[in-house]
Structure 1
Amino acid sequence: MSARRLRRLFNIYPPFLFSGIRVPTVSDDYRQVRVELRQHWYNKNYVGTHFGGSLFAMTDPFWMIMVMRNLGPGYLVWDKAAEIEFVKPGRGTVWAEFRLEDAVMEEIRAATEGGDKLLRWFDTEVRDAGGDVVARVRKQVYVRRKRPDSAPGPAT
């Protein structure tokens, strides 16, 4: 699937659409993604700031998808764990950017070359319009090369 089509699907994906989450950018090589969360009456918490669940949801699938798309079909890639730290109240439009560097991909390939699993943490900051950090999110991604016998073969 092209990055352009995936971006369009994200923007109509009900959990994102109905939370006010937009994905304005997915680079063609799946190495950079930008996500925005606009504040509306339906995604405010009790005290009038961004609902924490929406801040977390806006960062949820991207590291896994970026790694998966860059490794290709010979790997298993899953989200394993996550953490969020709320730094300051979020108001207005907040955003997060994800950048997958060459060095990280080399590290992943080297660590999984022999069939071993890798649990790799990725950090993302959610920022407000002024550039201040609203939340820090950590996602742990599980990566392992697929075993040759796990590939579907011809029926006998």
Structure 2
Amino acid sequence: MNLGQKLRFYFLNFYPPYFGAGIRYKKIGKGFNHFRLSMKLHWWNRNLVGTHFGGSLYSMCDPFYMLMLIENLGDEYIVWDKAATIRFIAPGLGKVYADFEISPEEVERIRNEADEKRKLDAFFQTKVYDEKTGK
């Protein structure tokens, strides 16, 4: 990872939607195939019942698979974040975190399919975990 790449991702912490929600990246894998993010519960990112606001949780998860694919596929591929859904399973209390990971094999499969079909919709899932309960 060169200095420019490190700085670009360091500054994600100061991107207004992330900074305002208290979202911080904690780890970036060497090959840009893994991100770990966290978000502490603050008065400004909680909802009316005192748990994490769903919009902040959604923001936390939005661009990272797209960013990993942009970095791993290179400039000859156009990557768009077209759609996302969120399902709330349990209330987030305290600090929450999420891991986003794409294996090199998955990147290669996407590359090959995109080369063959010229267009591809890839689907990924991640979970946001509450630090206290692990749920």
TM-score after normalising by structure 1: 0.80
Q: Which has the larger radius of gyration?
A: 1
Deviation at 1:112, TM superposition (A): 1.1
Q: Summarize deviations over 1:48-93 as a string: whole Å, max 9, x none.
A: 0000000010011100010010000000100011010000000100
Which of 5, 30, 33 aligns to 2:32? It is 30
How many residue pairs match? The answer is: 133
Contact 1:33/1:62 (<8 A) preserved:
yes
Q: Summarize deviations over 1:34-53 as a string: whole Å, max 9, x none.
A: 00011000001000000000
Which of 58, 61, 73 aligns to 1:59? It is 61
| 1:1-156 correspondence runs (5 A) | 2-130=4-132, 132-133=134-135
Please, what is the CA RMSD of the aligned residues?
1.4
User: How many angstroms apart in 1 are the aligned matches of 2:4 and 2:64?
Assistant: 15
Identity of matched residues, %: 41
Larger proportion of helix: 2
Q: After TM superposition, where is structure 1 displaced by more than 4 Å over at least 4 residues in a row? A: none
Contact 1:7/1:25 (<8 A) preserved:
no
Gaps of 5+ in 1: 134-156
Larger proportion of strand: 1
Q: Report the 3-state secondary structure (helix = DSSP H, G, I; strand = E; otherwise coil) of the residue aligned with 1:46.
A: coil
